[in-house]
A and B are shown apart, each in its own frame.
Chain A
Amino acid sequence: MSKFLNPVRLLALCRKECMQIVRDPSSILIAFVLPFVLLFIFGYGVNLDANRVRLGLLVQDAGAEASQFANALEGSPFIALHRDGSLVHLKALLASGDIRGLVVITSEFSAKVRGGEGSAAIQVLTDGSEPNTASFVGSYVQGVWQTWLAQRARDQGLAVPALTDVRPRFWFNPSTVSRNYLVPGSISVIMTIIGALLTSLVVAREWERGTMESLLATPVTRTEFLLAKIVPYYVLGMVAMALCVTVATTLMGVPLRGSLLALFLISSLFLGSGLGLGLLLSTVTKNQFIAAQAALVAAFLPAVMLSGFVFEISSMPAWIQVVTHLIPARYFVSALQTLFQAGDIWPVIWVNAVWLFFSALFWLGFTALKTSRRLDGS
């Protein structure tokens, strides 16, 4: 045991690492200020529920039917109407993105409706360069359309067809606040930053500054060296995690239904793999600039794009779904979403914990393998 690990030496190394962290104000900033800023930006900036979409309306018809439909649009709580201007003007607004859709009621609409030959049409143009918003526009106008049809049928004394009533019930997040599932997701992005990005610099820095050579000249073992790099950043990460959870649950009102124990377990495993990935990049590249770039590409961007945090994994092509299994953030996102909103559903948590465990083992083991005790070693 003592051949690999000398507690006194380890403690001394940890102390040195901590002093380096504390001495550079940027580490403290990243661990304590950035989580706040990012949580707020993700929690309030990413709102996928288009609550009030801006829509242009051009009515070229003076008939009662046309104005009835226009009023129905006006009354929709999901639509903010722009009624001014010509077709050219409204189309320019659509091109510049000032409105996201345009409803056109052409001149013979009312007459055709009254004629009843079914050729009357209302045209809706959407801004397809924003596909998500465009489909919202489509379904909002369709909703108004159906209300208008039902209203018309009732006015004319026709029987309203008995439609099937679909009653949605949202489990775990009844009010469907997208913040409630985006905040747990963004916590995993923040932890990726703290885990992988900070550690990606630490070993490379020793090489660049030449202090690695001095370290190699001491009796410090590989295990001690790595542990001294891991433990302080693990503590830093867990403190930041505690901070994130506190802010999310108190200031932002996101429910936490799972136990702290499960949260602690999952976060520790995730930090293990995040720190491992960062250290590996740092060890292999020996260059801060390259390690930083690599960490950004290998850790941060996948954590945003491939973790299922915003983009649904099951909708991706099969080969990308395979790739997502390599991304630790994927398991963390899934576990956090369950822990925050649904509670301790152990089958979900165990699966993710086991994957995270192997991922941590893989990255840390790989790093240990790549850490040499020689200057000329690879």
Chain B
Amino acid sequence: MWYAMLTLIRKELQALFTDATSLRILVMPVILQLVLFPFAATLEVKNSTLAIFNQDGGASSTELVQRLASAKAFPHILNIYSEIELTRVIDRQDAMLAIRIPSDFSRKIARRESASVQAIIDGRRSNSAQIAFSYAQQVISAFDADRTSAALPAQLVIRNLYNPNLEYRWFILPSLVAIITTVGCLMVTALSLAREREEGTFDQLLVSPITPAYIMAGKALPGILVAMLQGTIISAAAVWVYHVPFGGSIALLYLSMFCYGLSLAGFGLFISAICSTQQQAFLGVFGFMAPAVVLSGYMAPVENMPVVLQWVSAIDPLSHFIIVVKGIFLKGYDFPQAWPNLWPLLLIAAFTLTSAYLIFRNRSGQ
């Protein structure tokens, strides 16, 4: 029987890899995404344009404008001279942040009164604009500090552990290991049974002496293998191309990939078992994947979500796997540290694989 299953796995792998197009479709996207996404996916704000409307001609305002203009965060400065221009610049998204310095600014500073400036922020892109605003605020604080220069009684020392310079790429690449393998593994497992059904080869499988359990194992393992292959490519690129530190053990990484692969295969086969066409299976994959990615903590931290969505996130295998991969890369997780997020993966796998098996046996039994 083992021999029969091995043959089945070999057949699946052959179907995947001998066909040059499907091989390309499993490897090309990985490379494409590896090239594009680490550069694209960043919440840092660079190259942004700052509009400055200086209604004051005094010395202090000129100094502030010069400080803003020489700040690294704002390589482009747009000087504007009227209210109408200000509206147009923000409306047309030529700048997402404008600083207006009122006409009494220098006078108030000279009199040692509290002066004010106004920041106009494009709320359409409020996150990026808020970040740009915080850069401007830092410039203004530095302007104040140099002006008042009072000795501080103590200092505040901020140190970022695991990622000292807060490089976004260090965050993205381990997450990409998780996200890209999700696509590969789910597609292989979820679409394979549906394809056999659509092409009619499913009936042939059923009349063969192989039991449903073996058919399922034969479908699950190639998916897991694909996931691990893709995971290897991305991890290697993360370490050698993007120089993300790798602090944990490789064995633990593969063990977690296998656990994750199992839970994904469980979801894939579950989708496969309830669908009868490839379109349905594909949409099923999609219906699973989109929420899984959004709620995984990759786009926004899980702790910011409403409680109900945090519960959904707890049964999302991706959210556990991302924590483990990031932990292994950046925090040097060992097994006891990874285990709190590994057992949920195994539990999810056990649940989905069992239900897929039951549905599958019922549907093929008649």
Indicate whether B299 reaches chain A with its CB closer than 8 angstroms.
yes
Q: In the complex the two chains form, is B22's CB within 8 Å of A289's CB?
A: yes
**Please, how many angstroms separate the alpha-carbon atoms of A166 and B120 in the complex?**
10
Q: In the complex the two chains form, is A162's CB within 8 Å of B114's CB?
A: yes
Q: A132-B43, A315-B45 are in contact. Are A168 and B121 (CB under 8 A)?
A: yes
Q: A44-B309, A285-B21 are in contact. Are A149 and B152 (CB under 8 A)?
A: yes
Instruction: List, in ascending order, chain A residues with CB within 8 A of B148's CB.
Output: 161-163
- Nearest-neighbour CB distance to chain A for B16, whole angstroms, equals 10
Question: Which of the listed residues B45, B114, B151, B160 has the most CB atoms from chain A within 10 Å of its own CB?
Answer: B160
**Please, how many angstroms separate the alpha-carbon atoms of A338 and B195 in the complex?**
43
Q: In the complex the two chains form, is A174's CB within 8 Å of B305's CB?
A: no
Pick the contact of B25: A189, A293, A304, A305 (CB < 8 A).
Answer: A293
CB-CB nearest in chain B for A336: B124
Pick the contact of B32: A47, A205, A297 (CB < 8 A).
Answer: A297
Among the listed stretches A11-19, A114-122, A266-274, which one makes contact with chain B, having 4 or more residues with CB under 8 Å of it?
Answer: A114-122
Indicate whether B40 reaches chain A with its CB closer than 8 angstroms.
yes
Pick the contact of B198: A51, A53, A208, A341 (CB < 8 A).
Answer: A208
CB-CB nearest in chain B for A334: B93
Q: Contact flags (1/0) for A299-317 with B, using CB distance below 8 Å?
A: 0110011101011101111
Instruction: List, in ascending order, chain B residues with CB within 8 A of A218's CB.
Output: none
- Nearest-neighbour CB distance to chain B for A203, whole angstroms, equals 13
CB-CB nearest in chain B for A317: B39
Q: In the complex the two chains form, is B121's CB within 8 Å of A289's CB?
A: no
CB-CB nearest in chain A for B284: A26
Q: In the complex the two chains form, is A122's CB within 8 Å of B154's CB?
A: yes
- Nearest-neighbour CB distance to chain A for B229, whole angstroms, equals 15
- Nearest-neighbour CB distance to chain B for A58, whole angstroms, equals 14
Instruction: Indicate the size class of the contact surface on chain B.
Output: 35 or more
Q: Contact flags (1/0) for B271-306 with A, using CB distance below 8 Å?
A: 000010111101110110011011100011101111
Q: In the complex the two chains form, is A173's CB within 8 Å of B124's CB?
A: yes
**Please, how many angstroms separate the alpha-carbon atoms of A124 and B279 in the complex?**
52
Pick the contact of A163: B144, B156, B160, B183 (CB < 8 A).
Answer: B144
Among the listed stretches B167-175, B233-241, B253-261, B344-352, which one makes contact with chain A, having 4 or more residues with CB under 8 Å of it?
Answer: B167-175
Count of chain A to chain B residue pairs whose CB atoms are closer than 8 Å in the complex = 328
Q: A51-B304, A131-B168 are in contact. Are A312 and B125 (CB under 8 A)?
A: yes
- Nearest-neighbour CB distance to chain A for B31, whole angstroms, equals 11
Instruction: List, in ascending order, chain B residues with CB within 8 A of A342's CB.
Output: 91, 124
Instruction: List, in ascending order, chain A residues with CB within 8 A of B363's CB.
Output: none
Q: In the complex the two chains form, is B21's CB within 8 Å of A45's CB?
A: no
Instruction: Indicate the size class of the contact surface on chain A.
Output: 35 or more
Within 8 A of B (CB), among A227-246: none
Indicate whether B127 reaches chain A with its CB closer than 8 angstroms.
yes
Indicate whether B153 reaches chain A with its CB closer than 8 angstroms.
yes
**Please, how many angstroms separate the alpha-carbon atoms of A168 and B33 in the complex?**
37
Instruction: List, in ascending order, chain B residues with CB within 8 A of A370's CB.
Output: none
Q: A167-B119, A290-B21 are in contact. Are A38 and B153 (CB under 8 A)?
A: no
Q: In the complex the two chains form, is B159's CB within 8 Å of A170's CB?
A: no
Q: In the complex the two chains form, is A181's CB within 8 Å of B301's CB?
A: no
Instruction: List, in ascending order, chain B residues with CB within 8 A of A161's CB.
Output: 144, 147-148, 150
**Please, how many angstroms separate the alpha-carbon atoms of A178 and B156 in the complex?**
30
**Please, how many angstroms separate the alpha-carbon atoms of A320 and B294 in the complex?**
23
A-B interface, 5 closest residue pairs, ranked by CB to CB distance from nearest: A173-B123, A128-B163, A161-B148, A120-B154, A128-B160
Residues of B bordering A, CB below 8 Å = 21-22, 25-26, 29, 32-33, 36-37, 39-49, 90-93, 109, 112-130, 133-134, 136-137, 140, 143-144, 147-148, 150-164, 166-168, 170-171, 183, 187, 191, 195, 198-199, 275, 277-280, 282-284, 286-287, 290-291, 293-295, 299-301, 303-306, 309, 323, 326-327, 330-331, 333, 337, 340
Given known contacts A45-B299, A46-B299, what 15 new A-B pairs fall within 8 Å (CB)?
Answer: A34-B287, A48-B300, A118-B153, A128-B164, A131-B171, A165-B115, A169-B121, A170-B121, A170-B129, A181-B127, A205-B279, A289-B278, A292-B278, A311-B40, A320-B39
